[in-house]
Amino acid sequence: MTSYISLPMYSANIDERMRLIAGKCVSCGQLAFPQRPVCTKCGGDQFEDTLLSGDGSLYTYSVVAGNGAPSEFDDEQTMTGDVLCGVVELKEGPRVMVRLADMEPEELEIGMKVRAVIRRLYDQEGIVRYGTKFVPA
């Protein structure tokens, strides 16, 4: 299959994906993560880079059954079966939809503490795509 998220598109927000850099709204201080062009609170469009801690808690989650994930995850699903994903509420406030790792489906619980790590997401066009996954804190 061809790429759905091209390398240029992927690399354009690599600071967010790999380094957890959020945008802090210059007018109201609200954090935007993932970064976005317009502040959801005040409508401002000027942001300063702010490093997030990577600590957070699980806001919601799902165990997506084999062959349910997008096709770029096929290799992994062949090996692991289910894909664990969820929304993490970061300590600093923003929520983000992420991959979960190093945990069994039955361990998942709303409110559990998690932290960010860099992991392989998948490879495509011969290039490994790394990104952030969340593991138990």
Partner 1 sequence: MVDVAVIGVGQTRYGMFPERTLKDLFHEAAINALNDVDKGLDPAAVEEAFIGTLSTGGAQLGNFAPLMMEAAGMVGASARHIENACASSGFAMRDAVAAIASGRARIAVAGGIEKMSDLPREKNRLWLGISGDVEWERLAGTNFAGIYAMMARRHMHEYGTKKKHITMAAVKNRNNALANPKAQFRAPLEIDRAMKTPNLASPLSFSDACGITDGASMVILCRADMAKEFTDQPVLVVGSGGASNYVAIHDRKSMTTLEGTKRAVQQAYEMAGISADDIDFAEVHDCFAIAELLAYEDLGFCKKGTAGKYIESGATARDGKRPVNNSGGLIAKGHPIGSTGTGQIYEVVNQLRGRADTAERQLKNVRYGLTQNVGGSGAAVAVHILKAAA
Check binding of 25 to Zn ion (CB under 5 A).
yes
Q: How, if at all, do strands 31-32 and 21-25 pair?
A: antiparallel
- Minimum distance from residue 2 beta carbon to partner 1 (Å): 9
From the list partner 1, Zn ion, none, which binds 56 (C-beta under 5 to 8 Å, kind-based)?
none
Interface with partner 1 in residues 68-107 (CB under 8 A):
68-71, 73-74, 82-83, 85-87, 94-99, 105
- Which of 18, 16, 19 lies closest to 47, judged by CA? 16
Check binding of 5 to partner 1 (CB under 8 A).
yes
Check binding of 44 to partner 1 (CB under 8 A).
no
Check binding of 30 to Zn ion (CB under 5 A).
yes
The dihedral through the CA atoms of 79, 84, 90, 94 has a sign that is: positive
- The residues, any chain, with a CB within 8 Å of residue 3's CB and separated by 6 or more, are 124, 125
CA distance 70 to 5: 12
Phi, psi of 15 (to 5 degrees): -65, -35
Binding site for partner 1 (CB under 8 A): 1, 4-5, 9, 13, 17, 34, 36, 40, 59-65, 67-71, 73-74, 82-83, 85-87, 94-99, 105, 110, 121, 131
